Amino acid sequence: MLSGALNAAVAAGHLGTNPCRGLRLPRWQRRETVFLTEAEFATLLNAVTGYWRPFVEFLVASGARWSKATALRPGDVDLDQGTVRIVRAWKVVDGGVKLGPPKSNNSVRTINVAGSVLDKLDCSGDWLFRNRAGDYVRA
């Protein structure tokens, strides 16, 4: 991007040469991301009250982002197959939140979640994860 801007400056006569010409950026090494170690996860679970424990376990087991996990409905869960369908997400719009499709088509997906995690979910309400008043979970 910088080289392209400097090329435009050369073409416009603002620079004699592009100082980026011939330079190569070092290769970036992608590293595996580790979200939580087992010890960190155990510490987190010990700090969470019983009501929120299934939600926290789901977040960690599924890797789902907050905006997608809190937008799940019971119908998105297939207990027999051990899957959860991610098809919507909360978005901040004009100072409020709005439910809609995820940002990208790749975000719409079916994920496998351990039965031991799914068995703890309450699939009886309008939302898979609810606050104590029965409404969707807000940040």
Consecutive sets of 10 residues in the chain, 139 residues long: mean pLDDT of each?
Answer: 86 90 84 86 93 96 95 97 96 90 89 97 95 89
The confidence score (pLDDT) of residue 61 equals 94
DSSP reduced 3-state for 85: strand
Q: Long-range CB contacts (< 8 A, 24+ apart) of 78-81?
A: 79/115, 79/118, 79/119, 79/123
Element (H, E) at 55: helix 53-62
Please give the Cα distance from 124 to 107 (Å, whole number).
Answer: 25
Nearest to 136 by CA among 79, 60, 64, 55: 55
The confidence score (pLDDT) of residue 22 equals 87
CB-CB neighbours of 130 under 10 Å: 17
The confidence score (pLDDT) of residue 123 equals 95
pTM comes to: 0.74
Structural domains of the chain, with CATH: 34-131 (1.10.443.10)
